[in-house]
């Protein structure tokens, strides 16, 4: 006897239609076609924020987390050149498009979310100067149809540049100045629920993010900053089959942001102009390097890797 035959569908009757698809299967239909599980596969879509009025008239650079006085018109020209470089590489470029005033560091989109194959982890920036940037990003991600799988909460702080995909089933996650234990624990729990192995590392004093001490250029090629990269990071990468290129020039890495490149596809990267020794080392390791000038943007304490939120890789 069918006990539910006379029930309305809303109560589970015969007209009830259960949802049988997993979220991953709904990407590209109910949700937008977004997601990544790699730092180096073909780059297809990015989220950027061109510096706006928020970078005008900052009287104290240090108080705004900047490295020095800013030149907003030049910053905008450089950012437009970065956008053009992505488009020339056939990358879809989306803008944050805030509805109102935003904090001065909102341009650093990589910090504000971490993308997975099923949606985004929404960051909670560690500095009071950046508080609220996550709200601006949450609105834009929702408008683009990006599922927000986790919004870091409670006493947790987490910034997206403290997590990198080592391979499609492994994420390296760092604690340090910008991500605390509470935030990392929340992110780790979410990733493990997706079947992802999480390798935890600690960053040394004076490091902003994990992406600032290690970067991946291809499935078997990593670049590391000697003296700053955690030993466990190098051990993990070598165990996963990566060869390690050590940065050849401290000054180019520190003031030139030579380390802060974005892979467009395996072994082909977009990097800051004006770092000849580092470029030569990259090319000797088999990398193709395309350059964009970001001299004014660097004054804001970040490079193109920090500026670029990754929405989709192929």
What would the pLDDT profile of 143-175 be if each residue is shown by its tens digit? Answer: 999 999 999 999 999 999 999 999 999 999 999
CA triple 44-240-252, angle to 5 deg: 65
**pLDDT tens per residue across span 113-145:** 999 999 999 999 999 999 999 999 999 999 999
pLDDT score for 59: 86
Residue with tokens 């910034």: 159
pLDDT score for 109: 98
Q: Output phi, psi for 85, to 5 deg.
A: -65, -40
**Cα 274–chain centre separation:** 24
Within 8 A by CB and 6+ apart from 32, the residues are: 144, 145, 146
pLDDT score for 4: 54
Contact between residue 96 and residue 47 where contact means Cβ atoms under 8 Å apart: yes
Instruction: Identify the structural domains of the chain with CATH numbers, from first to last.
Output: 30-313 (3.75.10.10)
pLDDT (average), residues 102-120: 98
pLDDT score for 1: 52
Confidence band for 21, pLDDT divided at 50, 70 and 90: very high
What's the whole-number average pLDDT of the chain? 96
How many whole angstroms separate alpha carbon 145 and alpha carbon 314?
Answer: 18
- In 10 A of CB 174, how many CB atoms? 27
- One DSSP character per residue, 63-94 reads GGT-SS---HHHHHHHHHHHHHHHHHTT-EEE
pLDDT score for 310: 98
How many whole angstroms separate alpha carbon 208 and alpha carbon 212?
Answer: 7
In percent, how much of the chain has pLDDT > 90?
Answer: 95
Whether 16 shows a pLDDT value over 80: the answer reads: yes
Confidence band for 6, pLDDT divided at 50, 70 and 90: confident
- List the one residue out of 110, 136, 151 whose CA is nearest residue 54: 136
Beta bridge partners of 222: 216, 244
pLDDT (average), residues 28-44: 97
């Amino acid at each position: 006897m069918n006990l539910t035959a006379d029930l309305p569908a809303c109560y589970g009757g015969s007209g009830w239609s259960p949802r049988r698809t997993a979220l991953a299967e709904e990407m590209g239909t109910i949700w937008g076609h977004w997601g990544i599980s790699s730092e180096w596969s073909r780059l297809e879509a990015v989220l950027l924020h061109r510096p706006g009025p928020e970078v005008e008239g900052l009287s104290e650079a240090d108080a705004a987390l900047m490295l020095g006085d800013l030149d907003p018109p030049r910053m905008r020209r450089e950012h437009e050149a970065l956008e053009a470089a992505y488009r020339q590489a056939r990358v879809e470029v989306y803008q944050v498009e805030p509805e109102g005033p935003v904090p001065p560091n909102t341009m650093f989109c990589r910090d504000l979310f971490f993308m997975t194959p099923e949606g985004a982890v929404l960051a909670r920036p560690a500095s009071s100067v950046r508080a609220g940037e996550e709200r601006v990003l949450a609105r834009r991600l929702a408008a683009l149809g990006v599922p927000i799988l986790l919004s870091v909460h409670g006493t947790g702080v987490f910034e997206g540049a403290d997590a990198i995909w080592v391979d499609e089933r492994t994420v390296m996650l760092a604690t340090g100045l910008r991500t605390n234990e509470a935030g990392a624990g929340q992110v780790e729990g979410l990733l493990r629920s997706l079947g992802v192995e999480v390798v935890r590392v600690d960053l040394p004093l004076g490091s902003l993010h994990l992406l600032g001490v290690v970067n991946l250029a291809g499935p078997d090629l990593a670049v590391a900053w000697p003296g700053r990269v955690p030993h466990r990071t190098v051990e993990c990468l070598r165990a996963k089959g990566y060869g390690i290129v050590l940065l050849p020039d401290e000054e180019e890495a520190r003031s030139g942001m030579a380390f802060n490149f974005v892979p467009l596809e395996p072994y082909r990267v977009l990097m800051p102009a004006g770092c000849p020794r580092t470029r030569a080392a990259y090319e000797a390791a088999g990398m193709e390097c395309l350059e964009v000038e970001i001299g004014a943007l660097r004054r804001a304490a970040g490079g193109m890797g920090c500026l670029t939120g990754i929405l989709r890789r192929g």
